[in-house]
Structure 1
Amino acid sequence: MLDDLDAVLEEEQQATEDEARPRARKAGRAGRSTIAFFLSLVLLGLLAGGGWFAYSKVKGIFVADDYSGPGGAEAIVEVKSGQSATDIGTTLYNQKVVASVDAFVDAAKDNTRSKNIQAGWYRLKVEMKAADVVSLLLDPNARWVNKVTLPEGLSYQQTFQKLSEATKIPVADFEKAAKDPVGLGVDPAWFTRSDGKKADQTDIEGFLYPATYELSPKADATGVLKAVIANFTAEMDQLEFLPTVQRTRGGITPYQALIVASIAQAEALKDEDMAKVSRVVYNRAYGDFPCHCLGLDSTVNYWLRITGKGTKASEHLTNAELHNPKNPYNTHDKPGLPPGPIGNPGKAALKGAMSPTNNFPYFFFISIDTKGTMAYGKTAADHDKNRLLACQNGIPLC
């Protein structure tokens, strides 16, 4: 019996030990799991801190750094002609408008209209969202320009006044800058004449090409005049003015042709008459006209204007004004072309002077009605008849 009981007790003890052993293992596992979990939290914390530090260093590699917008202080930015999106982005980044160059490039890629961004100055803000910057650069109202239109035929004084009104730069600054046309970009070769008269290299008249200009808001008088003269040079190149005159005008220099163009601009109201008036001027100055004098009131008026006396209608010009020997622009008595241009001619007048009407043997012209219709005469008698017709049509000449 004892043996049997011992056997039973041994079996129960063994069973108890076997039952306790899994619980101990479970308890051990639970303890180890708790420790592991705690260590994992610590490790994750360390990894998070290190990960954030690493992300802060390399985030720009994977995601372009960008501001949330809408921006703060004003920033004036210039977009130059021919710049790529990266070039523009670099400018914007340097002025703290965008957070990164890549942000702007990505925003430009996402906007199909970004290729239409125009050169110019823009009013933006620092710390803008890149997509908002692209939208503003495409908004014409965001461009900051001083826009001015210079009509054909203005004198340099009238041109300076127009430029001053648009830019708020004093007229005196333009007058000072204009004393050195060559320094502003006029080729010195322009100031050449073949008629024995000296061209004045300080005279900017004729080189201020009439057009509409969008001027940099940060430009000074010198910068503005350089932009205008650069446009003059570009237009002359496009017209092939210099080579055409040198090839076809029989010794007439481009400067002399420029003077003729300025006279045609002052005398003719219609484009169709520019080449005809130019031919008459050439005929009188270099043809078989007895005195070789132009006999023009427009040149007299030019002198009155630039000397501060004010212009007059032809019928109000006095004999003393028309024949003033001290007036270098007195073409009633002095032969040949005047000392320089009497205004700034446009494209039609320039074309007329470089390619005057062929086989046009006239020495006189006159507007015969208020619409600017021009009549031409070979003789003084022809001219008198045309003057009478003009008087009959309401032109106050009689």
Structure 2
Amino acid sequence: MKRLFFIVLALAFTGVVGFIGMFAWFAYSPVALRHSPLDFTIEPGSGMRQVARQLTEAGIDTWPPALVLLARVTRQANGIKAGSYEVETGVTPLSLLDKLTRGDTSQAELALIEGWNFRQFRAALDRHPDLRHDSTGLSDSELLARIGADVTHPEGQFFPDTYLFARRSSDLDLLRRAHHQQRKVVQREWEKRSEGLPFRTAYEALILASIVEKETGQASDRPLIASVFINRLRSGMLLQTDPTVIYGLGPAFDGDLRKRDLTTDTPYNTYTRPGLPPTPISMPGVAALRAALSPPSTEYFYFVAKGDGSSSFSRTLAEHNRAVARYIRKQQP
């Protein structure tokens, strides 16, 4: 009887050792992949069993029950982070779990360009294949509410930059980041502003910066362009800037700005209305904000494009008319 007990005990021990050996072999052996590299996504709220199933469906040849057990033994089952991941040949179940618990997601990127308006921002988001398009069907006001923005108009409220994000992230999350960054940048630059500027609020400075952004063809001209508009605001002159008129036309603008467009009154027509338009007209970058808030002291009231991306600046209308004759009329038949 005692001998039988020891035989059973020995068999049990051998079985445990064998199981541990097989389990270790499973944990450290590379898994087969449908192809390499392989992208897959762990959906938010997934439990470990769901994670194991998603991995198998994505093309990772692992045994789900064993992977679930490994996650529990290593205390990683409750630490899996949702997101998009990429694995290559040689990945093991243990290294795969490590990757999932670290949140070592694969990243995509999207460039939001200085000078774009919000309509262009939304179009870029809608086109991106690696974003989850949660903003689809939302009006601008609904979108602003969803990201927690305490503003009524989206223009100028998002920082133009290249954003990295985990694949399958929400486009609302990216917009929330861009909005928070723009608020931080505007406040920082506002606090460093020059004295005596014709702005009552940081929002007014943001409006002018958006105009400077659209009027700038060459970066070195940006501060001088800002100085022209500052001088005009101080003296009560009309800003008379085409980009505001174009913005007011919206999608109806066909690329050809006509005389009737300049004389038709709209809230954004700075040829017919004094002062700044009611909102920004684009997403200005840091350089445009700094130009608007720390412009050089000049006597310029006019500028005209020279045709090479740069501008010619004038102090008087007579000088400006001569510059127009030189740089504009010669370009037209």
TM range (shorter): 0.7 to 0.9
Q: Helix, strand or coil: the match of 1:66?
A: helix
Residue 152 of structure 1 and its aligned partner are, at CA, apart by: 1.3
Match of 1:391 among 324, 328, 332: 328
Residue 256 of structure 1 and its aligned partner are, at CA, apart by: 0.7
Opposite residue 173 of structure 1, the aligned amino acid is: T
Aligned to 1:15: none
Q: Does 1:340 align with 2:311?
A: no
Aligned to 1:100: 71
Give the Cα–Cα distance (whole angstroms) in 1 for the partners of residues 258 and 288 of structure 2.
29
Q: Does 1:164 align with 2:126?
A: yes
The TM-score normalised by the length of structure 1 is 0.63
Aligned to 2:219: 271
Question: How many percent identity over aligned positions?
Answer: 23
Q: Helix, strand or coil: the match of 2:136?
A: helix
CA RMSD of aligned residues (A): 4.2
Aligned to 2:84: 121
Give the Cα–Cα distance (whole angstroms) in 2 for the partners of residues 296 and 204 of structure 1.
21
Aligned to 1:294: 239
Matches for 1:109-258 after TM superposition, within 5 Å: 121-123=84-86, 128-131=92-95, 143=106, 145=108, 147-167=109-129, 173=136, 175-176=138-139, 178-181=141-144, 183-186=146-149, 188=150, 201-236=151-186, 240-245=188-193, 249=197, 251-258=199-206
Aligned to 2:260: 320
Residue 377 of structure 1 and its aligned partner are, at CA, apart by: 1.3
Q: Helix, strand or coil: the match of 1:264?
A: helix
Match of 1:330 among 269, 289, 310: 269
Opposite residue 253 of structure 2, the aligned amino acid is: G
Higher helix share: 1
Give the Cα–Cα distance (whole angstroms) in 2 for the partners of residues 273 and 137 of structure 1.
50
Q: Helix, strand or coil: the match of 1:332?
A: coil
Opposite residue 289 of structure 2, the aligned amino acid is: L
Aligned to 1:114: none
Residue 336 of structure 1 and its aligned partner are, at CA, apart by: 0.1
Aligned to 2:61: none
Give the Cα–Cα distance (whole angstroms) in 1 for the partners of residues 235 and 263 of structure 2.
22
* CA gap 1:50/1:102 in 2 versus in 1, 3 angstroms: closer
Residue 254 of structure 1 and its aligned partner are, at CA, apart by: 0.9
* CA gap 1:206/1:251 in 2 versus in 1, 3 angstroms: closer
Aligned to 1:66: 27
* Greater C-alpha radius of gyration: 1
Residue 100 of structure 1 and its aligned partner are, at CA, apart by: 3.2
Match of 1:76 among 41, 53, 56: 41
Give the Cα–Cα distance (whole angstroms) in 2 for the partners of residues 244 and 185 of structure 1.
27
Residue 172 of structure 1 and its aligned partner are, at CA, apart by: 7.3
Match of 2:310 among 364, 369, 373: 373
* CA gap 1:337/1:259 in 2 versus in 1, 3 angstroms: same
Residue 235 of structure 1 and its aligned partner are, at CA, apart by: 3.9
Q: CA contact under 8 A between 2:155 and 2:279: conserved in structure 1? A: yes
Residue 250 of structure 1 and its aligned partner are, at CA, apart by: 5.8
Residue 339 of structure 1 and its aligned partner are, at CA, apart by: 0.9
Q: Helix, strand or coil: the match of 1:181?
A: helix
Residue 383 of structure 1 and its aligned partner are, at CA, apart by: 0.9
Residue 351 of structure 1 and its aligned partner are, at CA, apart by: 1.7
Structure 1: segments with no counterpart, 5+ residues: 1-37, 80-90, 106-118, 189-200
Deviations 1:214-246 (A, max 9, x none): 344434443332232233235446xx1232249
Give the Cα–Cα distance (whole angstroms) in 2 for the partners of residues 70 and 49 of structure 1.
30
